[in-house]
Amino acid sequence: MRDAFIGILTELAPQHPEILFLSGDLGFGVLNEYIAKFPRQFLNVGVAEQNMSGLAAGLAMEGHTVFTYSIGNFPTLRCLEQIRNDICYHDANVKIVCVGGGMSYGAVGFSHHATEDLAILRSLPGMLVLSPCDLWEAAEASRYLISHRGPAYLRLDKSTAPVTVRQDEIFRPGSIRTVREGSDVTLAATGGILGEALLAADSLAEQGIHCRVLSVHTIKPLDTDTLAAAASETGGIISIEEHAVDGGLGGAIAESLMEAGIFPGFFVRMGLRNTFSSVIGSQKYLRKVYSLDAASITRTVTTKLGVVAEALS
């Protein structure tokens, strides 16, 4: 996903001289081409994310489209005060880019994970929150942010779901994509973990259970209409995110549906439950440890549908 973002920025920077890219002293392997081509549109701020965010706000208020860039929770939680007070309060045209959302950097420990960011960033007034699920969504979300005005957060995963784009499909921020049709249960995922949801849907189809799979690439604003349809047309909704369940995608779905007076047959939030992702290992391994892999999703679906079937019998 990171490469897709950099590719779009490199493609469009010549047409948008107002773009400024600020890095927190990382990413040079993937940034070399961009830096060589556009040295006046790049600045290495160093390992100083608070300063990077304040600087970005000032540059944006002078007319620039500014991207800040770092890994895990460094461009978000480390500089939350500057994002809140400098960027959001002034409606500054700053795009915060996190590479390594969720447990992408699993081997270096929870300090490098981003597992509370969606909850915190979506709570800030005026903040657009994008969490693409595959490479096409990552590229199109990046393209959109160049023209979007105002604060935005782009959460990029190391993993990616298989490309799910249909011919002539247009990326629409704020609109959930239905990437698999089904009526038994809805799997609503955000980020690269959509790939696990699709694997689970394949496994469940072999058992005669047909899943509607949603790619929730925009957390804020949230597409209530698509979720409402899923709640009424399928047996229940399961949200799947490489993030804490408190305040993340699952929380956003529950808030949205309850406020609209819509209640699915059942609702389950799959994510981290009141724990840090403190185990060390690859992203794939950590998904298994924290019951976020395809097998865990499959078990959750069969358990819930079994309980519902028993209650109705």
CB 40 within 8 A of CB 10: no
Average pLDDT across the chain, whole number = 95
pLDDT tens profile 112-154: 999 999 999 999 999 999 999 999 999 999 999 999 999 999 9
The total number of structural domains in the chain stands at: 2
Band (313; pLDDT cuts 50, 70, 90):
low
Structure tokens at 209: 């259970």
DSSP class of residue 87 equals: I
Nearest Cα to Cα of residue 213 among 185, 193, 233, 235: 185
Residues 135 and 214 occupy one common structural domain: no
> If you average pLDDT over residues 288-292, what whole number do you get?
97
pTM of the model: 0.95
Residues 34 and 143 occupy one common structural domain: yes
**Backbone CA torsion sign across 279, 285, 289, 294:** positive
Domain around 26: 2-156
Q: Is the pLDDT of residue 310 over 80?
A: no
Residues 208 and 306 occupy one common structural domain: yes
Cα–Cα distance between 302 and 310 in angstroms, integer?
12
pLDDT (0 to 100) of residue 29: 84
Q: What is the three-state SS of 154-223?
A: EEECCCCECCCCCCCCCCCCCCCEEEECCCCEEEEECCCCHHHHHHHHHHHHHCCCCEEEEECCEEECCC
Q: What CATH number is attached to the domain comprising 229?
A: 3.40.50.920
